[in-house]
């Protein structure tokens, strides 16, 4: 496992030196989307709450970074954490609302948030630049590094490093008490409460945490695009994130990365088929996944790997503990 992670890390580290810069640029967005979708994995997959409004948290993060950078000249080292903090606080606020709502009502409330943020951004023109948005200084690698890495490569590394931190944090926190409590609440709130799990704390925590991740993603996108405007964080973005997490896999970290790839590349691939039917391609992909791979691409891949392994080694052997548990829970 450790070796596999190291190999993956090396792969990510070496890629920018062999692929064209614009692909490096696209993979930076993949990492940003993966962070946001990891937030949805935590929220939907682990805590069982839904959000159709994560685009709004990305907008909060994006505008926080943009206002700090364009207005006050505060660098991304400070502005990205602040973006996460602010989005997280708003997320906790929405978490309290979510306590009173469930299912389709929560979906509608979060959708309303996603729909109301772009007009709000247009209204406070002095702060947000209105419809024209805010243009940021072009992103560059720090001075001493500039001869060695391009700005694309630099932000690729920065974003993937942030993604690694986000994933590692999620892994450490979710494997322990918090993860157990969240899953218990998701499966049966009454039983979980009976065992002493505090639903208010854990549910709002999940919302805040997940929103903070979306805030980081929004900040990164504002910084690498050097721009923030209401069109960037439209309702469609929230829906794309949701489609990404469903196609990628709701219950797995790998699913978050696959979801990031889907959100970034599906529109680009779809328009090669026919630009007018992009949303149809989205819909078909979604339906196919829901029917044939309910666990998303990540779930499908692990099933496929298991099937291949059984074919390759016909003699039965005891499944590892983790697999046994995941099979039981599935």
Partner 1 sequence: MSIRRFTIIALTAILALAAGAVLTVPAASQAVTGVTATEIVIGGTHPYSGPASAYSSIGKGAQAYFAYVNDKGGVAGRKITYKDLDDAYNPPQSLQLVKQLVEQDKVFAIFNSLGTPVNTVLRPYLNEKQVPQLFVATGATTWGRDASKFPWTIGWQPDYEAESLIYAKNVLAHEPSAKIAVLYQNDDYGQDYLKGLQNGLGAKASMIVKTASYETTDPDVKAQVASLKASGADTFFIFATPKFATQALVAAAQLSWKTKVYLNSVSNSQVVMKAATTQGGPAATTGVVSVIYLKDPTDPRYANDSGLALYKQIMAKYVPGGDVNDQFYLYGMGAAFTFVDALQKAGKDLTREKVMQAAIHLHETDNPFVIPGVIVQTSPDDRFPIRQEQLAQYDGTRWGLIGSLMTARR
Residue ranges in contact with partner 1 by CB under 8 A: 1, 3-4, 7-8, 10-11, 14-15, 17-18, 20-22, 25-26, 29, 119, 122-123, 125, 130-133, 135, 138, 221, 225-227, 229, 231-232, 234, 236, 267-268, 271, 275-276, 278-279, 305, 308-309
Between 130 and 199, whose beta carbon lies closer to partner 1? 130
Kindly state the smallest distance separating residue 99's Cβ from partner 1, in Å. Answer: 29
- Please give the DSSP secondary-structure letter assigned to residue 252: -
Which contiguous run of DSSP H or E holds residue 135? strand 134-135
Q: Positive or negative CA dihedral for 288, 292, 298, 300?
A: negative
Give the chain's largest Cα–Cα span.
69
Q: For partner 1, give the closer residue by CB, 177 or 309.
A: 309
Q: Closest CB to partner 1 among 206 and 223?
A: 223
Find out whether 34 and 244 touch, Cβ atoms under 8 Å: no
Q: Shortest approach of partner 1 to residue 330 CB, angstroms? A: 18
**Between 26 and 183, whose beta carbon lies closer to partner 1?**
26
CA-wise closest residue to 9 among 130, 152, 154, 157: 157
CB 134 → partner 1: shortest distance, Å? 10
**Min dist. Cβ of residue 229 to partner 1 (A):** 5
- CA-wise closest residue to 153 among 261, 13, 248, 35: 13
| CA 286 to each of CA 110, 111, 259, 281, 293: distance values in angstroms, whole numbers, following the listed order | 21, 19, 12, 8, 10
CA 51 to chain centroid: 12
Q: Which is nearer to partner 1, 70 or 178 (CB)?
A: 70
Residue 84 CB, shortest distance to partner 1, in Å, is 19
């Amino acid at each position: 496992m450790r070796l596999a992670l190291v190999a993956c890390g090396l792969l990510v580290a070496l890629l920018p030196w062999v692929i064209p810069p614009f692909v490096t640029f696209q993979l930076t967005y993949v990492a940003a989307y993966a962070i946001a979708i990891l937030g949805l994995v935590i929220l939907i997959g682990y805590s069982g709450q839904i959000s159709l409004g994560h685009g709004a948290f990305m907008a909060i993060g994006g505008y926080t970074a943009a206002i700090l950078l364009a207005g006050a000249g505060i660098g991304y080292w400070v502005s990205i954490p602040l973006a996460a903090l602010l989005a997280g606080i708003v997320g906790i606020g929405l978490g309290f609302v979510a306590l009173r709502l469930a299912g389709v009502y929560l979906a509608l409330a979060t959708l309303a948030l996603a729909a109301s943020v772009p007009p709000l951004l247009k209204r406070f023109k002095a702060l947000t630049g209105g419809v024209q948005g805010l243009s940021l200084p072009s992103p560059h690698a720090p001075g001493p590094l500039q001869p060695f890495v391009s700005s694309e490569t630099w932000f690729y590394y920065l974003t993937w490093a942030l993604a690694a931190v986000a994933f590692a944090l999620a892994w450490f926190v979710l494997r322990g008490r918090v993860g157990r409590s969240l899953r218990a609440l998701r499966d049966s709130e009454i039983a979980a409460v009976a065992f002493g799990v505090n639903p208010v704390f854990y549910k709002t925590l999940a919302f805040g945490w997940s929103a903070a991740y979306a805030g980081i993603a929004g900040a990164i996108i504002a910084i690498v695009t050097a721009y923030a405007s209401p069109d960037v964080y439209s309702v469609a973005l929230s829906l794309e994130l949701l489609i990404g997490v469903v196609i990628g896999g709701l219950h797995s970290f790998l699913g978050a990365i696959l979801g990031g790839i889907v959100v970034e590349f599906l529109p680009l691939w779809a328009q090669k088929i026919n630009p007018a039917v992009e949303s149809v391609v989205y819909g078909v992909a979604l339906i196919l996944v829901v029917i044939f791979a309910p666990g998303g691409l990540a779930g499908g891949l692990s099933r496929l790997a298991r099937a291949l392994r059984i074919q390759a080694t016909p003699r039965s052997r005891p499944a590892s503990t983790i697999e046994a548990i995941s099979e039981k829970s599935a």
